[in-house]
Every structure is written in structure tokens, then in C-alpha cells.
Amino acid sequence: MRRVPSFILALLFCVSIAGCQKPNASAEVPPDLVDITSGAKEEEIIITYSDLTHDGNEEKVMIDVSQLKEKQTVILKVLDEKDNIIWEESAGTAHAGWNSIYLYTLNGEDYLLRYNPYIVQGIADYKYELFYLDENGSEKHKDFNSLHFDITGCEHPLDVEKIVSFVDEVNEYLSKSILLLSTQDSELVHSTSKDRIVKTEELSWLNDYDIEYDDHDSLKDKLEKYQEHFTD
């Protein structure tokens, strides 16, 4: 019997092993968990089903990422039981297009919460809107608030009490909400059916300077120390 050369045996062994390997792990990930920034992303990702029209029927809530690469834009959509789009809103990863939309639930009723803490050149313009939709997709507002201030506190001292009150108000809503879609800070983030994201407003700009805060400091304490940093 002729002996088979060793290099051929090695080649046959490698081919055999390759044929037995599992498919690429990303192919096994459910569509709603695939990294939407990768080449394997789905163009439409269902986040949840919620009764946003308060008519007893649940609407489909999803995001469309088909324009992410070309226009740096994603779209949150609400569809009725016939898959008709009754409401949609875009969010861009460019600064001017930052947007965050949450699903807020209280006493069994679902609402959309639009929250945008926008800062440009040291001027903060924070606002939120809480609303549900009518059968035509028109927004029916339940609550709204906004806050405008200079985060440096140089020309106009920070109104600490007013800022704390606003943040407490926002966090009360956020504590009962899941993040549907956000492009805040140019980072695309969204919940999935298996990973529901809950956010808290902590005024991250308080940490932009070399200010010593104590672990037990409240938000009011931090704001006062922040103000002192610019007035000393």
C-alpha cells in the first residue's frame, strides 16, 4: 500500500476540523441583539409593543437604522396593528441632531418621554415632553418643562434650587421609563426586548473640572461646590 504524504494528511485534517466548526457567533445572535454598527446589523429592530394610543391595542415600537451610515440618522417608529406608521421621529449622531426618547409607564398607561439635555458653548437648554398619541399619531402632551442656564455660572450664578428641582422631576420620570432610542453624546444606544435600559440624569458636566466631591454629596452639594470653583 502506498503511503499518503504527511502534508496531505495534515491538509485533510484541517478541512475536516473546519467543516465541524460552529457558524460565526454573530449569526446566532437574535436580530434585536445584533450590534447595529456592524456589517451584520438589521435595518429595522423591534424594541417593544406598547399601547401608546390608549385605545386598548398595542402598537409596535421599532427603530430604523437604514440611514445610519449615509446620513448618521436613525428613526424611531410607532406602527399600528396593520403595520401603518402612525408616528416617527429621527435622532442624529451629529451634535445638532441628538435626541432621546423613552417609554414611560404609570398605572398601566404608556407614554413617550422626549428628553433633551442640550449644551452648546457652555449654555444649557434642558427640556422634556411627556405625551401619548391619538389614533392619527398626533402628540397629546401630559407634561412639559424646560430649564435654561449657563453651566459656568460666571455671568449668571447657577440657580441651584431650580436645577435640583428640575433634575429631580426628570429622574422621577426616568425611574419609570426604559430608553427606546438615544444619540446623546454621538453614541447610538437603544433597548432591546431582552435588555431594557434605564437612565438617570446626573449632570455629567459637574465632573469636567478638578473639583473634589465627597461620596455622600447630594446633587445640591455638588452644584454649590461647582459654583464656588468659578467664583473663588
Q: What are the pLDDT digits (tens) for 103-155?
A: 999 999 999 999 999 999 889 999 999 999 998 999 999 999 999 999 987 77
From the CB of residue 108, how many other CB atoms can be counted at a distance below 10 Å? 6
Question: In terms of pTM, does the model score above 0.85?
Answer: no
Over the chain, what is the mean pLDDT? 84
Answer for the pair 179, 61: CB distance below 8 angstroms, yes or no: no
CA torsion sign, 182 to 185 to 188 to 189?
negative
Per-residue confidence (pLDDT) for residue 42, from 0 to 100:
62
Task: Tell me if 88 sits within 8 A of 78, measured CB to CB.
Answer: yes
211-222 mean pLDDT: 95
Q: Is 229 strand, coil or helix?
A: helix
What's the pLDDT band for 223 if we cut at 50, 70, 90? very high
Share of the chain above pLDDT 90, in %: 72
Reading phi first (left if > 0) and then psi (alpha if -120 to 50, else beta), residue 107 is in left
The pLDDT value recorded for residue 33 is 33
Q: Containing H/E element for 125?
A: strand 123-133
Q: How far apart are CA 105 and CA 119, in angstroms?
A: 28
Residue whose C-alpha cell reads 434642558 in the numeric block: 126
Contact 189, 35 (CB under 8 A): no
Q: What is the DSSP secondary-structure string of 73-117?
A: EEEEEEE-TT--EEEEEEEESSGGG--EEEEEEETTEEEEEEEEE
Q: From CA 41, how far away is CA 37, in angstroms rounded?
A: 7
Model confidence band, residue 29 (pLDDT cutoffs 50, 70, 90): very low
Cα separation, 230 vs 227, in Å, equals 6
pLDDT of 50 strictly over 50: yes
